[in-house]
Homo-oligomer: A and B are copies of this chain.
Amino acid sequence: MLSDPALADLRAIFGDRLSLSPAMLAEHGASESLVTAGLPDAVAFPRSTAEVAALAAWSTRHLVPLIGWGAGTSLEGHALAVAGGVVVDFREMAQVLEVRAEDRLVRVKPGITREALNHELRTTGLMFPVDPGANASLGGMAATRASGTTAVRYGTMRDNVRGLEVVLADGRVIRTGTGAPKSSAGYDLTALMVGSEGTLGLITELTLRLHGQPEAMMTAVAAFAGVAQAVDCVIATMQMGLTPARIEFLDVETVLACNAYSKLTLPAAPQLLVEFHGHPEGVAEDVRRFRELSEGFGAEGLQWAERQEDRTRLWAARHSAYRAILATRPGAKAVVTDVCVPISALTQAVEETRADIAASGIPGPILGHVGDGNFHAILLVDPASADEVTTAKALAARMAYRSLALGGTITGEHGVGFGKLGHMAAEHGAAWAVMGTLKRALDPLNLMNPGKLVPG
């Protein structure tokens, strides 16, 4: 609850771009996942860095938390107001500021979504490849260090954010990075901010790396006898020096869900969905080699989609997999997990997880970015059943600890928020306290997205 003076000061900055309406608060107090929290006290819609800086100064003066908000697609409660405060919704800061084609860079405001950005880039021959599935905002993707299907070739947000403008807790505005492709000039503040989930500052501008739209693309789908054969095929592919643009694993339950939802006719077996980008000659050889390799691992029904519409149909099905899986159990909500292990441990991680899920009685199809060792189980629960929710959360926790035991991480791409806060000490040990030290150094009053990521 904001005090009268605080509210008056806030209205002085934002005028009618401030909302306290119950509908707006409810919209910004909800998330796609089962992670829930209370409502924010207000939602502000800044139009400029100066307004965000004024908001940070206001926050320091009135000791009210600030929580950044992009497209609201995060899965671990990152953007929820666990201690009240003002949600900073960046929807009105969503412009492309500058495309620098020769340098393959673009400067954008944080609220623009990845689809909107790529739409603006469509005639430039360039693209922004990071693709987490959801049409997230770029600011949110940077804040959670998002990745997705194309990270195996193009990297994650860690690799594709060249520089940032950030408003710090005390209202100072800093710029990180330069227009040069690399630098050794001091601490990598860009990398520190990417993945900091709004706990160190609010991102008000991003400079992103662009990549050429590939001249040739080939997509294939291949069925394997089991997880081990599919993963071994991926390991051999990478070791041969082939670099797929995407290489995705779908277990048999996911395949059946996609068949039903997206009207595909894939065989009922674990599948790899793979894509190569490059010049036609290079891609042709990639395809030839992948065919030979995958047949050596028992792949069947390998089909190449060269036509744009066939490729689009396959990837649309992959992107709809989450909804396809939800549709297999009407009324269900999903506990979405997100572990990432060394690729040598991937078969063991997936097989143990499948056995654990099967024993639980809860449906939990598995799919993942197998080239990165990253996979998700979509655990389908009846939200009215406390038992099922408890069982699913216990399964998710066991997945996280299994990942750690295999040398992996509790989250490959979704981030910590407060959904994964309880597992951070197990992953980082003494390094988690160091994160807390950094947080306190930059935000001593704990006003930037409190209750997330660092020790409480």
Binding site for B on A (CB under 8 A): 100-105, 125, 144-147, 151, 156, 158-159, 168, 172-176, 178-189, 191-192, 194-196, 200, 212, 214-215, 235, 238-242, 278-279, 281-282, 284-286, 289, 338, 340-345, 372-374, 403, 406-416, 420, 424, 427-432, 434-435, 437-438, 440-442, 453-454
Complex Cα distance, B242 from A278, in Å, reads 8
Interface centre among A181, A285, A343 (most CB of B within 10 A): A181
Complex Cα distance, B408 from A105, in Å, reads 13
Contacts of A168 on B, CB cut-off 8 Å? Answer: 434
Contacts of A442 on B, CB cut-off 8 Å? Answer: 434, 437-438
Contacts of A187 on B, CB cut-off 8 Å? Answer: 192, 195-196, 200, 435, 438, 453
A266 to chain B, nearest CB (A): 27
Q: Are A212 and B191 in contact (CB under 8 A)?
A: no
A-B residue pairs in contact (CB < 8 Å), sample of 11:
A145-B184, A145-B188, A147-B182, A151-B182, A156-B182, A179-B407, A181-B374, A184-B414, A184-B415, A185-B416, A186-B428
Q: Are B431 and A441 in contact (CB under 8 A)?
A: no
A341 to chain B: closest residue by CB: B180
Contacts of A412 on B, CB cut-off 8 Å? Answer: 180, 182-184
Contacts of A344 on B, CB cut-off 8 Å? Answer: 100, 102-103
Q: Check A411/B178 contact, CB under 8 A, given A103-B342, A241-B212.
A: no
Supplied contacts A187-B192, A438-B442, 19 more A-B pairs, CB within 8 Å: A100-B342, A102-B344, A179-B345, A182-B374, A182-B412, A182-B413, A184-B415, A184-B416, A185-B409, A185-B415, A186-B435, A188-B191, A188-B194, A215-B241, A279-B289, A281-B284, A281-B285, A282-B285, A438-B438
Q: Are A188 and B184 in contact (CB under 8 A)?
A: no
Contacts of A158 on B, CB cut-off 8 Å? Answer: 182, 188, 191
Q: Are B146 and A420 in contact (CB under 8 A)?
A: no
A309 to chain B, nearest CB (A): 23
Complex Cα distance, B378 from A267, in Å, reads 63
A432 to chain B: closest residue by CB: B186
Q: Check A278/B241 contact, CB under 8 A, given A174-B429, A188-B158, A191-B188.
A: yes
Complex Cα distance, B185 from A403, in Å, reads 13
Q: Are A174 and B420 in contact (CB under 8 A)?
A: no
Q: Are A188 and B180 in contact (CB under 8 A)?
A: no
A406 to chain B: closest residue by CB: B179
Complex Cα distance, B180 from A168, in Å, reads 31
Q: Are B184 and A343 in contact (CB under 8 A)?
A: no
Q: Check A416/B146 contact, CB under 8 A, given A181-B372, A285-B281, A408-B179.
A: no
A442 to chain B: closest residue by CB: B437
Q: Are B428 and A342 in contact (CB under 8 A)?
A: no
Q: Are A183 and B411 in contact (CB under 8 A)?
A: yes
Contacts of A411 on B, CB cut-off 8 Å? Answer: 183-185
Contacts of A151 on B, CB cut-off 8 Å? Answer: 182
Q: Are B235 and A186 in contact (CB under 8 A)?
A: no
Complex Cα distance, B323 from A178, in Å, reads 31
A314 to chain B, nearest CB (A): 22
Q: Are B103 and A343 in contact (CB under 8 A)?
A: yes
Complex Cα distance, B343 from A239, in Å, reads 32
Contacts of A182 on B, CB cut-off 8 Å? Answer: 145, 147, 151, 156, 158, 340, 372, 374, 409, 412-413
Contacts of A178 on B, CB cut-off 8 Å? Answer: 340, 407-409, 427
Q: Check A186/B281 contact, CB under 8 A, given A191-B191, A441-B438.
A: no
Interface centre among A173, A194, A407, A415 (most CB of B within 10 A): A407
Q: Are B410 and A174 in contact (CB under 8 A)?
A: no
A337 to chain B, nearest CB (A): 13
A273 to chain B, nearest CB (A): 18
Q: Pick from B100, B156, B282, B430: contact of A174, CB below 8 A.
A: B430
Complex Cα distance, B427 from A195, in Å, reads 24
A105 to chain B: closest residue by CB: B342
Complex Cα distance, B178 from A343, in Å, reads 12
Complex Cα distance, B187 from A454, in Å, reads 9
Contacts of A156 on B, CB cut-off 8 Å? Answer: 182
A401 to chain B, nearest CB (A): 13
Q: Check A410/B185 contact, CB under 8 A, given A241-B212, A285-B279, A343-B103.
A: yes
